[in-house]
Structure 1
Amino acid sequence: MAKLVIVVDKLQDWAPFYQYDGVMSLPAYLKWQPKQKQRVRVINLCRQSHYLGTGYYCSLLAEARGHNVMPSLRAFNKFNRFEISELIEELPGTLQSLLDKALADAAEQQLLFNIYFGETSSKALRKFANYLFEALPVPILRVELSKKNHWQIRSIKIGAVHKLTEQEQGHFAEVLERYSHKIWRLEPKNARFKYDLAVLTNPNEPFPPCTPKSLELFRKAAKRAAMDTELISARDIQRLPEFDGLFIRETTGVNHHTFHLAVKAEREGLAVIDDPNSILRCGNKVYLQTLFQQHKVPVPDGLMLFKQDEDNLERAADTLGLPLVLKIPDGSFSRGVVKVTTLTELKAQLNALFEQSAIILAQRYTYTEFDWRIGVLNGQPLFACKYFMARNHWQIYKHGKGKTQSGGFATCAIAEVPAHVLQAALAACKPIGDSLYGVDLKQAGEQVFVIEVNDNPNIDDGVEDLYLGNKLYDLLVEDFIRRIELNR
């Protein structure tokens, strides 16, 4: 568990807030010694934010001690150089229009307000505040806006906690509570947690990799193992150093915030599932096809088709025959995957898919009633399911207008999986990594083909956990603890 320290110039600066033993003056912080191998998160609220002031020295010395501090030294340097003026002058067009729209009815020509950890009291300015916080991760930002033809940033300064009004103090405390709830939580001595795990979710995702109940079962398993879990969102990226591990339970993508959070978490020394390499390697079907061929993993016969080649149509049909399957490299949940049965369909679908990607993967079509999904964790099989095709469809998922149908499933013991299916699944994961994977395979008699490896496999209550029950979540928690201890 990371220790949170709040550094102030004078202890009286913290007097209006909840009394917390982690509040220290700068001299006290420099004398304080954390427990061995304990990670430390510092919130620097020192008054003097100028170069060589106490605030600057607090961040400088915190980084020298290997502690994660906000503001970072890099953030301080932005205020002491020309980056602030560049940020003011180069406000993105979309954000400029957002600012103008948000303040269209404002009677004032000038506005002065605070941003606390990326939040502000004005609903209209929330996106704007979050943008500034991402560019300048500082606990308190003092922002002044003025209007001529358009609303513009007149100045941005580091705010001071001792200068907050009583009303501002209340808002700051509320945001800080959300930003780092560990300051405020009083835990009984016999219920202290040894580990902290962030679980990244998106409640608005249409096809999340976990149901709410499966997330709750995982959190209960974590609690039994003295691990505290907190559901976080993409906007909590600056909070990652508070945790020992990150469990991504949102559909991942390379050009996506899930990847950015995975990279930052790994840099901060957290145990991460899905790790950045796994997201990179599993996120592209063209990469997987090449990787599997290189490592002799059984896959359907396939071709890479390039947008600029004129013989794609004939080459695909002659080599693979019809019907065949076309895939965009980064599709998920059966999206961006089409089956074509005629040359006319092949031509039309190639033209459509080349609008999305410069390379298309074509594979020989193999009919099966179901696909195997083998869950693999740290190179060992975790669960096994058969996913059956959607009714009157050749895929597990059938996407319609505003509606998605899926086939049934059957969960079974690992011992019931044919040996050659299990062997192919483990062979597919080996060149990718040791994270949590879901391997999709087709079995046709004695032949087995790996279709893809998912870095973010579904774990839904009553499906993937149907055979193991709570044991599945216990195994996930045990592996996270193993990874955390290895990092330490």
Structure 2
Amino acid sequence: MTWVILTGRPGDLDQVATPHKIITTRDYLAHPSLFRGQRPKVINLSNSYAYQSRGYYASLLASSRGHKIIPSVETLIDLSARKLYENSLPELEQALNRCRRDVGGTFPSSVSIFFGIGPSRAWDRFARLLFDWFRAPALEVAIEDGEWATIRKIGFLPLARMKADEKARFLSNLETYTSRQWRDTRTRTPARYSFATLIDPQEALPPSSVNSLKYWSRIAGKMGVEVEPITRKDLPRLANYDALFIRETTSISNHTYRFARRAQQEGMPVIDDPMSMIRCTNKVYLNELMTTHRVPVPPTMMISGPADLQAAADTLGFPIVLKIPDGAFSRGVKKAANMEELKRLAATWLEDSDLLIAQKFLPTEFDWRIGVLGGEPLFSVQYLMAKKHWQIVNHERRGKPDEGGFRSFTIKETPPEVIDIAVRAARCIGNGLYGVDLKETSEGVYVIEVNDNPNLDHGCEDAGEKDAVWVKLTQWFIDRLDRQAR
């Protein structure tokens, strides 16, 4: 990936201070064919971003050339007058005041923030949020201290006004901001695109292991793509990348949804996209959607209160499966053997959700998981039930959750009816990557749920179709980026 730094004058930044290419805004504007066929990341360090200045036009024209640039012209406009950014101040001032104790009790009259990084870790919370609001290389925040500190002004800090120690910190933060982690130096194909992969190194049951993602990065590298890991702290620099692949368990109530929304706002191809998250994480919605599109699901009833329990029991029989709307990885799914257990479980869950789902229990030795990408089957695997348990993951076991085994298949080896129903179900959700769980019974094939961030691990989900799984995944992103470039 090419990084380009724009300066107002040739001597504003010494070329030996950074490994990235430095050119003036004058040269950048005068030569529109520069970097043709590439998608460079551009950092605009002009001394002025005033309307119709060279700095302003550099940010404006970068988007027409297909270049990613910070600050964007929208950020230039937002910070041109307090009235345009005052809606950000309540949240920023709250984060600022939460830093008070770590900073030392009193605030300086101003603080400089470079690429979302403050002068010390005490400023982390505020600095990241500031960069989340305004992605600019260097910002200066004027502070009015008091019992409740307020922000008087947010403005750009040009290189020419930086003190020596500030400039040294700026260059260090620049190196941090542009650093990469999973680059495979053996890859000979020049990288056309860079994909961010959102991970949580501490997650007990991640959708993909770090080793699997490294395996993908080697395949993607041969296709001209860099795959880089990011964590929840990296939202401010998400725009550095061309695409986003979320490999944490998703939820619309945590940072994964915010990452998906930001990627969508930046025009980046993203898996999982926000709408898929909304649709897949709620089993009430999924059941209605599948029923509307005549995709077979187990006999199901909605539970809105204790009065519905008897009707569910009469219709579905025991044992009966009860689900909360937004469970994941077999969490929030319980089996009730009789009315007493059903009432007790429903009473607990109805405290947090107005609706529950009751389904007919369909015992099977395994669940099919069909991966669907872009409306086409990607992989096929059977997840076996955990030992002496009726689900593929037993969360009731003490210590680490107990998972059953698996059997992988090629798409051709999989029953056509299973593939057909899985693809129909996934197409109801969208055009991204989905894992469709199905039960194959003597009465037919039923969709249990559609997952927006299915497991994808080397040696398991890819064991049937081999590297074609990762190639197709990479190509899905490339096709969308190529269309954008055209």
TM over 0.5: yes
Match of 1:251 among 229, 243, 249: 249
- Is 2:398 the partner of 1:398? no
Instruction: Deviation per CA, 1:445-465: give whole Å up to 9, x if none.
Output: 352111011121111233223
The answer to whether the 8 A contact 1:88-1:154 is kept is: no
Shift of 1:82: 2.2
* Letter aligned with residue 448 of structure 2: I
Whole-angstrom CA distance in 2 between matches of 1:375 and 1:56: 45
- Is 2:42 the partner of 1:32? no
Whole-angstrom CA distance in 2 between matches of 1:448 and 1:239: 44
- Is 2:329 the partner of 1:321? no
Shift of 1:332: 0.5
* Letter aligned with residue 71 of structure 2: P
Moved more, 193-202 or 259-268: 259-268
Match of 1:125 among 117, 123, 126: 123
The count of residues paired between Structure 1 and Structure 2 equals 480
Whole-angstrom CA distance in 2 between matches of 1:264 and 1:440: 29
Match of 1:465 in 2: 462
Moved over 6 A (4+): 185-189
SS at match of 2:219: helix
Match of 2:102 in 1: 102
Superposition map of 1:227-376 within 5 A: 227-307=225-305, 311-376=307-372
The answer to whether the 8 A contact 2:93-2:150 is kept is: no
Superposition map of 1:437-476 within 5 A: 437-476=434-473
The answer to whether the 8 A contact 2:18-2:171 is kept is: no
* Letter aligned with residue 17 of structure 2: Y
Whole-angstrom CA distance in 2 between matches of 1:419 and 1:186: 39
Shift of 1:277: 3.2
Whole-angstrom CA distance in 1 between matches of 2:240 and 2:10: 23
- Where structure 1 has 5 or more consecutive residues not aligned to the other structure, the ranges are none
Shift of 1:62: 4.2
Moved more, 280-289 or 447-456: 280-289
Instruction: Deviation per CA, 1:107-128: give whole Å up to 9, x if none.
Output: x663543211111231122112
* Letter aligned with residue 117 of structure 2: E
Whole-angstrom CA distance in 2 between matches of 1:92 and 1:402: 42
Match of 2:13 in 1: 14
The answer to whether the 8 A contact 1:100-1:150 is kept is: no
SS at match of 2:429: coil
Match of 2:222 in 1: 224
Whole-angstrom CA distance in 2 between matches of 1:186 and 1:396: 35
Whole-angstrom CA distance in 2 between matches of 1:152 and 1:390: 55
Cα distance change of structure 1 residues 246 and 346 upon mapping to structure 2, 3 Å threshold: same
Shift of 1:254: 2.6
Whole-angstrom CA distance in 1 between matches of 2:409 and 2:184: 43
Whole-angstrom CA distance in 1 between matches of 2:74 and 2:449: 41
Match of 2:414 among 409, 412, 417: 417
Shift of 1:300: 0.3
Match of 1:156 in 2: 154
Shift of 1:353: 1.7
* Letter aligned with residue 245 of structure 1: A
Instruction: Deviation per CA, 1:271-330: give whole Å up to 9, x if none.
Output: 3322333223222211211111112111101122235xx622222222222221121222
Shift of 1:352: 2.0
Moved more, 326-335 or 478-487: 478-487
- Is 2:82 the partner of 1:81? yes
* Letter aligned with residue 472 of structure 1: V
* Letter aligned with residue 18 of structure 1: A
* Letter aligned with residue 76 of structure 1: L
* Letter aligned with residue 427 of structure 1: R
Match of 1:383 in 2: 379
Whole-angstrom CA distance in 2 between matches of 1:235 and 1:246: 15
The answer to whether the 8 A contact 2:189-2:223 is kept is: no
Whole-angstrom CA distance in 2 between matches of 1:418 and 1:305: 34
Shift of 1:469: 3.7
Cα distance change of structure 1 residues 441 and 242 upon mapping to structure 2, 3 Å threshold: same
The answer to whether the 8 A contact 2:189-2:221 is kept is: no
* TM score, norm. by length of structure 1: 0.88
The answer to whether the 8 A contact 2:132-2:235 is kept is: no
Whole-angstrom CA distance in 2 between matches of 1:386 and 1:168: 57
Cα distance change of structure 1 residues 165 and 16 upon mapping to structure 2, 3 Å threshold: farther
Whole-angstrom CA distance in 2 between matches of 1:46 and 1:148: 34
Identity of aligned residues (%): 39
Instruction: Deviation per CA, 1:30-58: give whole Å up to 9, x if none.
Output: 11214556545432211124556554454
Whole-angstrom CA distance in 1 between matches of 2:189 and 2:253: 40
Instruction: Deviation per CA, 1:168-226: give whole Å up to 9, x if none.
Output: 323222222232237xx998995422332222222122221111221111011111222
Whole-angstrom CA distance in 1 between matches of 2:368 and 2:452: 16
* Letter aligned with residue 161 of structure 1: L
Superposition map of 1:177-188 within 5 A: 177-181=175-179
Shift of 1:385: 1.7
SS at match of 1:192: coil
Whole-angstrom CA distance in 1 between matches of 2:90 and 2:479: 48
Match of 2:47 in 1: 47
Shift of 1:10: 1.1
Cα distance change of structure 1 residues 180 and 91 upon mapping to structure 2, 3 Å threshold: closer
Match of 2:482 among 472, 482, 485: 485
The answer to whether the 8 A contact 2:371-2:379 is kept is: yes
Cα distance change of structure 1 residues 8 and 432 upon mapping to structure 2, 3 Å threshold: same
Whole-angstrom CA distance in 1 between matches of 2:422 and 2:443: 15
Whole-angstrom CA distance in 2 between matches of 1:433 and 1:90: 34
SS at match of 2:341: helix
Whole-angstrom CA distance in 2 between matches of 1:267 and 1:91: 21
Instruction: Deviation per CA, 1:378-399: give whole Å up to 9, x if none.
Output: 3333222221222232211121
Cα distance change of structure 1 residues 467 and 51 upon mapping to structure 2, 3 Å threshold: closer
Whole-angstrom CA distance in 2 between matches of 1:19 and 1:96: 31
* TM score, norm. by length of structure 2: 0.88
The answer to whether the 8 A contact 1:441-1:452 is kept is: yes
* Letter aligned with residue 42 of structure 1: V
SS at match of 1:416: coil
* Letter aligned with residue 218 of structure 2: K
Moved more, 326-335 or 144-153: 144-153
Cα distance change of structure 1 residues 269 and 86 upon mapping to structure 2, 3 Å threshold: closer
* Letter aligned with residue 83 of structure 2: F
* Letter aligned with residue 200 of structure 2: N
The answer to whether the 8 A contact 2:284-2:357 is kept is: yes
